Structure 1
Amino acid sequence: MTDDVIAMRPRMMSVAYRMLGSVADAEDAVQDAFVRYQTAGGVSSPEGFLIRTTTRLCIDRLRARRRREYIGPWVPEPVATGEADEASALSESLTQAFLLLLERLSPQERAAFLLRTVFDYEYAQISEVLGKPEATARQIVSRARRRLGLDSTRRFPASPVRAEGLAERFLQACRAGDVRAVEGMLAEDAEVHSDGGGRVSAARVVILGRERAARFLSGVFGKKRLNCEMLPTTVNGQPGVVFVFDGAVVQVASLRIEGGVRAVYMTSNPDKLARWSSAQVD
């Protein structure tokens, strides 16, 4: 393959990760797309072929995944990133909150919405990817926007306003087991999504409400992870923390801040931590 073709990999990964919420699955889809490109022959537009093939492979993977049961709450695989640029569509669409929101959509709706709204593809290009008439592609994007609660002018849900220092204070209070302090920084309708994938101990349902969330987080940070090193980091463009025990990453958590802490996304499924810090997703 030529250098120009290989240079398409970051764009392909960007599409595949947002489609699948899994680095491992995204890497597999991208590799499969490259294999198909090598065997296709006579491709006039490598970019068009690779993005179209990657997206279609992701649609197939999503359809297969929805037939399988997942144990407990599902959280998108976390990736280590720099601090998000809130003006960037790529950054806004990388957060775990946004990727979870996309779970409301069918595989085709997800593909059409991402290609149009995040990657600025024309409807004619989207129709080619989906194998649908252009008018149908427009309808699919419109339906996806309605399901996500977006009007005709907003591209994404409103970006959270970060309170300076709130993330650091919140994590310190959780670590100290100070339930009252944690509760004071949580939004009233706070949520905690804890993903163990049935591999390790984790809450089997989403923890809802300020009081329950405060008790749960204080228990996990202040007791269960007491012997772990706690390292502040940026997860999918959002403030977060990595728990390390005996040199191995055992949990990654990120915060969604909207005035107070609106949601906490905790990943301890070992399958989703294997690529932590090494995965490259824009």
Structure 2
Amino acid sequence: MNELKQKALMKYCMMITGDKWDAEDLAQDTILKLIEINQADASPAYQKTVAKHKWIDRIRKRKRECFLSGADQAGGQTEEIRAADECEHLLKHLAAELTPKQLTIFLLKDVFYYQLHEIAETLGKPESSVKSLLFRSRQRVKRLSSDVLQREAISESGSEHERLLIDAILRHDPDRLLEYAKRTWLSSASQPSCISMMRCAA
């Protein structure tokens, strides 16, 4: 990549991040990604697309980290372990209450922060169906009573599938969520090779 393109990319990264350090990190990540996919001499428009998706992914990761650890970080490792345990406990209950299809869409939207059209494209389903399933899953989650969420006895059936769900959240890896969908409800005719293929910079 020549110097002019690098300057243009840095200017764009500064515009979307609003911070010098974030912009420098984003520009470096973008250049590495372009080299990785053999597009080092790509057009400025393509470079901006890669940078934009890299930034979206970074924002999503930050939101997921907040979801896991909560606002109070003072507890250090102990707090992180407790948050992970609570996350695992909650996911097992959600898996028992929602269908695999509902759970996949609920997590993609409300935990991984995908847009409806992204979920529809990723899963090969109409956006209207995704919207309907999301609504039903949210309604069922709202109806979960406090005593259900506090129960300690959880069935071991389907534990392999539950582990995929838990890993998807704790590892910040939506590809594991797609693997869960493949094993439970997503037909081979409609499944993409991986969630990250929907975005060139995933």
> Do the structures match in fold with TM over 0.5?
no
Higher helix share: 2
Give the TM-score of the pair, scaled to structure 2. Answer: 0.34
Higher strand share: 1
